[in-house]
Amino acid sequence: MSIKFDQTLGSLEAALNKSMARQKVIANNVSNIDTPGFKRFLMDFEKELANNPGLKQQLPLRVTEPKHINTSAAESWSVQRDYSTGLRKDGNNVDLETEMISMIKNDTFYNAAINQVNKKFAMLKLAIDGK
């Protein structure tokens, strides 16, 4: 049985990067809560993963230098604009409760990925130390 340590860490790194990107999207929405006419942005990469299992195999691919050509599916997940109408008269559709729920969900996902990274390194340390 071969251990695909690098592949697993690559997948976890991609998950952490996407979680950080989603956090920025949520923060942008919250920071524009009082901007008239602002339409919120959405980033749902779990849904994309569920709809396209082939992407899971491509997660370890990543750009390590700014001059590299971006071929990774993990780097191509999109951010969509939510053009739905809000309840506000100024046309803004950002709801603070919705954004806070998204932030908590994203934080939980990020912490789960960090815990997996910590476990991988603990196993590696155990293998090296033999204790």
pLDDT score recorded for residue 86: 81
User: Helices 5-31 and 96-129, interaxial angle, to 10°?
Assistant: 160
* 91-116 pLDDT per residue, tens: 999 999 999 999 999 999 999 999 99
How many domains is the chain partitioned into structurally?
1
**Per-residue pLDDT averaged across 29-58, rounded?**
75
How far apart (Å, rounded) are the C-alpha atoms in residues 66 and 114?
A: 25
What is the chain's mean pLDDT, rounded?
79
* Ramachandran category for residue 68: left, alpha or beta (phi over 0 → left; psi -120 to 50 → alpha): beta
Domain that holds residue 45: 5-129
pLDDT score recorded for residue 67: 55
HSE value, Cβ hemisphere, 13 Å, CA-based, for 92: 13
Tokens at 38, concatenated = 């602002």
**Per-residue pLDDT averaged across 4-17, rounded?**
78
How far apart (Å, rounded) are the C-alpha atoms in residues 34 and 11?
A: 37
